[in-house]
Copies of this chain bind each other. A is one copy, B any other.
């Protein structure tokens, strides 16, 4: 699992703090910084191979999900362009490879849906030309986008764009993205919890740099920051994804109940702590610097993630599981120096900012020595399932209940004292919360079912019989609300008839 640990150390799109301002905070809240830029010895670009290896197995699984569950016909019916986003893309090249694989899976799926559609009904394939693809590469503003852009594949079959900013906020317009991928980023929390700095509290994390081997209060403080960040992340993505749009998340996890100190990543955190404490004792750095540093990452269990997703309610879980990220090692021993180089490419920025870049060589050197000393222990714990995969679709119970709040003809929300036990009509007229101005999501969602309805009409409705008895065909839409969605679906039904 220690090699798996290599894979779990990718630092990516994590914001400094919630108001987007990096430097204004007086207290030393550790924040995650982007990976080493450029293409040098310790650059992420040249040291991200193991991240790729760790996620190879997950890729196979979610490509399968795309092929089985992503309805390209539906997505394409909503837009002329299919838009993909890789959140926490870093500088490449992993992002280009995974995007290429996702794109090809989508093209295959589209092609197979197209030929199926042609087989069933030649007429139906009219609107199924190959879509154009646009890919948004996102990471923190301080990410090395220059390296990313100059490394873009020349023969790519998509329009590329870079999007700087924290994925804990909105990054894209409403309902504009069809597929989101994020790999080994979400375990990085937006900042280390402030309470860890409080010397008078049981959450003071003295002598440690992480929640590994820390009291429950410290672990809980980390967990609560993780929950807050995930909430922000999920709410932003729920807005941005089209209905039925897919999101794949791969993140560092831990089996429920396992102490983090018993998996290689935790062992590495402890070795880093003790390397820094040794350096403090030798006067190389200040001990108070160690006390105030808290690595901003948290490893959640499958159960924790499920609870967050359920509470959020904006997504349907298509697949969710914990896996062994080091499966590719096939039981072979961990290459410890290579692992440390990988850790360095991902984390050096954070440590250098806090402790000074002049001690980095020393710190990573000591880390290597300590890890080599416990290599057997690390190798014995290599098979812990410490990686989470979630394949989600936009549109859980949370997103379908927007709008229908109260009956109020001026379109403004009203706090009604009596319990809502009867269903009420959508907000009327054209106010800011009116249904007619807030039904874009519903329109897209309904659009997705259109195909099935139309197919049924075409196959099973006997127009000849219906029209034999009357000169006029009457169509009714029950629960039509105020439009304009009702008119669109009625149009399609009429057309089919």
Contacts and interface: CB of A to CB of B under 8 A. Distances in A.
Nearest to A444: B80
Contacts of A429: 122
Contact of A434 (B126, B175, B471): B126
A161 B159 contact: no
Nearest to A488: B491
B80 A175 contact: yes
Given A159-B170, A164-B160, A488-B491, A437 B126 contact: yes
A142 interface: yes
Contacts of A20: 154
Interface stretch (A128-136, A217-225, A388-396): A128-136
Max chain B CB contacts within 10 Å: which of A154, A163, A471, A472? A163
B162 A132 contact: no
Contacts of A490: 491
Interface in A127-176: 127, 129, 132-134, 136, 141-142, 144-146, 149-150, 152, 154, 159-165, 170-176
A119 interface: no
A160 B164 CA distance: 7
Contacts of A21: 154
A95 to B, nearest CB: 14
B430 A123 contact: yes
A494 interface: yes
B132 A173 contact: yes
Interface string A286-308: 00000000000000000000000
Given A127-B437, A132-B174, A174-B132, A152 B162 contact: no
A429 B438 CA distance: 37
Contact of A491 (B132, B172, B487): B487
A197 interface: no
A414 interface: no
Sorting the interface of chain A by its residue count into under 10, 10 to 19, 20 to 34 or 35 or more gives 35 or more
Contacts of A123: 430
B136 A161 contact: yes
A332 interface: no
A233 to B, nearest CB: 16
A123 B429 CA distance: 8
A160 B136 CA distance: 11
A436 interface: yes
A111 interface: no
Nearest to A21: B154
A125 interface: yes
Contacts of A141: 149-150, 152
Max chain B CB contacts within 10 Å: which of A81, A133, A144, A145? A145
B472 A173 contact: no
B440 A80 contact: yes
Nearest to A172: B159
Contact of A81 (B134, B170, B174): B174
A434 B123 CA distance: 12
B159 A173 contact: yes
Contacts of A176: 80-81, 134
A142 B472 CA distance: 65
A23 to B, nearest CB: 12
A412 to B, nearest CB: 14
B162 A164 contact: yes
A452 B466 CA distance: 35
A122 B430 contact: yes
A113 to B, nearest CB: 14
A456 interface: no
A163 B161 contact: yes
Nearest to A435: B126
A90 to B, nearest CB: 14
Contacts of A215: none
Nearest to A144: B146
A484 interface: yes
17 contacts: A80-B440, A123-B430, A125-B430, A126-B437, A126-B484, A127-B436, A127-B484, A129-B432, A129-B437, A133-B173, A134-B173, A141-B152, A146-B146, A152-B164, A161-B162, A491-B491, A491-B494
